Amino acid sequence: MSLAADAPDRPLRSEAPLLALGSATTLHRLPVYLACTVLALVINYVLGKEMAWDTLNYHLYAGFSAVNDRFAQDYFAAGPQAYVNPYAYVPFYALVSSGLSGLQIASLLAVAHSVMLWLTYELALAVFPSGSSASRAVFAVCAVAFAAVNPVLIQQIGSSFADITTAELVLAGWLLLATTIRAPSAPRVIFAATLLGAATAFKLTNAVHAIAAGAILMMLSRPLSDKLRYCLAYAMAVALSFAIVAAPWSYRLERRFGNPFFPLLNNVFRSPEFTTEPLRHFRFIPSSLAEALWRPFAMLDPVPMVHEELSAPDPRYAVLLVLCCALVMRWAWKRLAPTRVSARVESPVDARVLAALGCGFAVDWVLWLIGSGNSRYFLAMACVGGVLLIGLLFQILATRPKVRNYILVVIFGAQMIQLSMGAEFRWNGVPWDGGRWLDVEVPESLAIEPSLYLTMDTQSNSFIAPYLAKDAGLINFSGAYPLGVTGANGARVAALIRQYAPHLRFLSRGERLYTDAMRRAPSVSEINDALGRFGLRADPSDCATIAVRGLPPDLEFTFASSRPAAKRPANTTYLVSCALVPDNTDHWADRTRQEAIDVVLDRLEDACPELFQPRRLPTDYRGDAGRRIYVNTDLMAWVGKRGVKLFFDPTRGDDPVFLGREDDWLKAPPRLACARRNGHFIVRVLDSKETG
């Protein structure tokens, strides 16, 4: 069964988007484009300024590092994310450094992001090529409306995220391929491949969209040999475009680390400066086929951590699946029911284009679920899904326009109710205050004197780099990927310490460096315990404080058994920096203790290898305790004198699990029962009866 069966080839109309600006064809587009842009500006203004965790951790730093060579002075400044391709973040950094206010910056970004809706409009017109101009416009506007009510898209309008800007390249490529179905054209295929290759180079998560787009070309009304030639040309153009765009940054990574995609694919290139274990983030990947099949309906639930970190209820995929089932049932009914003579009503929807997009979308959905399941990486396909939803409704109910319209109103109304009742629209949003995106007040000494700053939080706060002295350096030595004193990491850190000595400082969130008696972070012992591995300690007499105004308060994670914390208003955030001096303390006893901690963690990983991934990561030592953060599964294992504890992804709010005493793990490791269901991990120690 094919939607394209008996579909006549129609010549491509001369209504190409954004062409012939003086023609009547283009004039009917301009009001829609303008309305989309105005809508984006209104959304941006109402939601406030986005100050997401990622923005402060690496978005601003990435753009800064793209135009400033930081390899000689920084090392894992933003953790592993310091080395993602940074060029997609250059516009954001350029706007922030231009001196414009936060609202002006976000408004410019919102205008650029509204192009996503323009492209959705054009894609809908490609699916609905015949009929009056009014009916085509209505069809396309409905598709735009269903794309615009995507809660994940709304979150990113006016934000620093590159997901939406690179998704525009993906959607433009799919638009060109859709128009190719009706009028095969090698130049159009190559241009589409160029866009998709570039989108993949800027953000590797777009690779699934580039791969799935090949399914569209298989729907060309041409012999198989011609289809294969088009696919070969497409694949070669994607590869060439990817190589050209990725080459400048990949060349620098290859020279520095021996891995052109560092830290990704390090199980292939095996740089000694990062784990060689495979990396795969399981946060939203279904754990079973049943979960995968249920995902469209699970996305109806207005709770966080289903297909994105925030609550983003979205019924469109469930509706799309139901419509596909209805289409199959209608086809089966026509094949099995007795033949009836009736007047044939030709649908204005181009069945072949709709089928091609549907095949590409289905392939993309499967690859996306296998690869990440994160809707932030599915923005382009969410817009394609909106077009498919409208197209299927018009196709199935071509003879029942009133029923179709009622269904459209019900679906759209249900989505609006979902959005109003359960969706979260901003990552750490703060109200507009007329000031800059970041209002940073740095003491003169830190702005003039280039020092090496050692940071020790999972939130690297690398956004501060552009505000420090020009030649200052940053090392996030104790965060998402702890850096040891031995091996390739230790050699790099030691070289930078020698390069900057005696101008060495630590940098951490906090208004000041507190004494241990104050029981507040950061404390003297906490800092010294972490820095002792490098033979350094803090000098409390030489500290300075950086003030950052307008940031949301630090995230406060709660467990399932605790009460939810009340939201706090934006305030002034402080970063404290103190000088570092040599520490001549003998840490032999600490090294012995660290070896015991590593033994326990290694045995824990061996007891449950499917959960503790990647294995054998560096241990982050904190005094007489140590921890490992498993980035694939968002778990943290902690070993201390009080026992072995397992902490789950803090955004899910699961309670920590006590896994026994440290001595027991050193003598006779207990057996564990491990499982992953519905995004949650289940770990427990088996008792003697179960192990016997």
Q: What is the pTM of this model?
A: 0.90
The Cα–Cα gap between 113 and 155 comes to 11
pLDDT the model gives residue 359: 95
pLDDT the model gives residue 345: 55
pLDDT the model gives residue 690: 59
The Cα–Cα gap between 258 and 211 comes to 27
- Give 320-331 as a DSSP string: HHHHHHHHHHHH
pLDDT the model gives residue 129: 86
Our CA angle for 246, 247, 248, nearest 5°, is: 100
Tokens 């404390």, residue? 523
Instruction: Give every residue of the chain whose pLDDT is below 50, as ranges.
Output: 1-24, 555-569
CB-based burial, 154-166: b 16+ in 10 Å, e otherwise? bbbbbbbbbbbbb
DSSP classification of residue 437: S
Who's near 363: CB < 8 A, 6+ residues apart?
211, 212, 215
The Cα–Cα gap between 274 and 159 comes to 30
The Cα–Cα gap between 389 and 322 comes to 10
Per-residue model confidence as pLDDT tens digits over 163-219? 999 999 999 999 999 999 988 889 999 999 999 999 999 999 999 999 999 999 999
Our CA angle for 611, 613, 614, nearest 5°, is: 170
Alpha carbon separation from 392 to 86, 276, 354, 389 (Å, rounded): 39, 46, 8, 5
pLDDT the model gives residue 519: 84
- Domain boundaries, given as residue ranges, for the chain: 24-335+344-422, 439-585, 596-691
The Cα–Cα gap between 554 and 565 comes to 12
How many Cα atoms within 13 Å fall on the side-chain side of residue 248?
A: 9
Tokens 């503790």, residue? 612
Per-residue model confidence as pLDDT tens digits over 272-303? 999 999 999 999 999 999 999 999 999 999 88
Tokens 């089966």, residue? 332
| Gyration radius (Cα) of the chain, Å | 28
Helix, strand and coil in the chain, % to nearest 5: 50, 15, 35
In 3D space, the residue among 690, 611, 678, 685 whose CA is nearest the CA of residue 644 turns out to be: 685
- Give 505-522 as a DSSP string: EEEEESSSPBPGGGT-SS
Alpha carbon separation from 214 to 174, 178, 203, 211, 427 (Å, rounded): 10, 11, 19, 6, 34
Give kind and range of the element (H or E) at residue 551.
strand 536-551
Tokens 């090496």, residue? 452
The Cα–Cα gap between 315 and 297 comes to 7
Tokens in use for 91?
């516009």
Left if phi > 0, otherwise alpha if psi is -120 to 50, otherwise beta: which for 487?
A: left
| Sign of torsion over alpha carbons 215, 221, 223, 225 | negative
CA 451: distance to chain centroid?
A: 32
Helices (H), 299-350: 316-336
